[in-house]
Amino acid sequence: MICSMILFCDTRRRQQQQQQDAAPSEPCDYEGELREHFAQFGHIRKCIIPFDKETGFHRGMGWIQFSSEEELQNALQQENHIIDGVKLHIQAQRPKILQGDQTSDEEKDF
């Protein structure tokens, strides 16, 4: 971990990235640690911590995907998440919001 990081949590599949041409990677030891930590809140579907190959540091953010909203809430409710001695900031990743001026019923019926 070394320096702190924001971890985005959600329950949805992240959008598939474009053609993955890089070698598929084995989870590194500390991705494993993250999984282990968050497994106490529920089932982890996916855990992604992107590293910058150029610098060797991670990019200051990562994603973790739970299987249910409830598990996600469990994780969010815990105040501190300390991995390898460093506090992790976690934040829920919300679904994409409406694009443009879509009108829901709420706005229509005045």
Would you count residue 1 as binding another protein (CB under 8 A)?
yes
Would you count residue 96 as binding another protein (CB under 8 A)?
yes
Coil, helix or strand at residue 82: strand
Q: What's phi and psi for 56, nearest 5 deg?
A: 85, 0
Query: Residue 22 gets which letter from DSSP?
Result: S
Beta bridge partners of 47: 64
Binding to another protein by CB under 8 A, coded x per residue (else -) over 45-84, reads: ------xxxxxxxxxxx------------------x-x-x
- N residues, the chain: 110
The alpha-carbon radius of gyration of the chain (Å, integer) is 17
Q: Which of residues 21-40 bind another protein (CB under 8 A)?
A: 21, 23-26, 28-30, 33
Contact positions toward another protein, by CB under 8 A? 1-4, 6, 18-21, 23-26, 28-30, 33, 51-61, 80, 82, 84-87, 91, 93-97, 99, 101-103, 106-107, 109-110
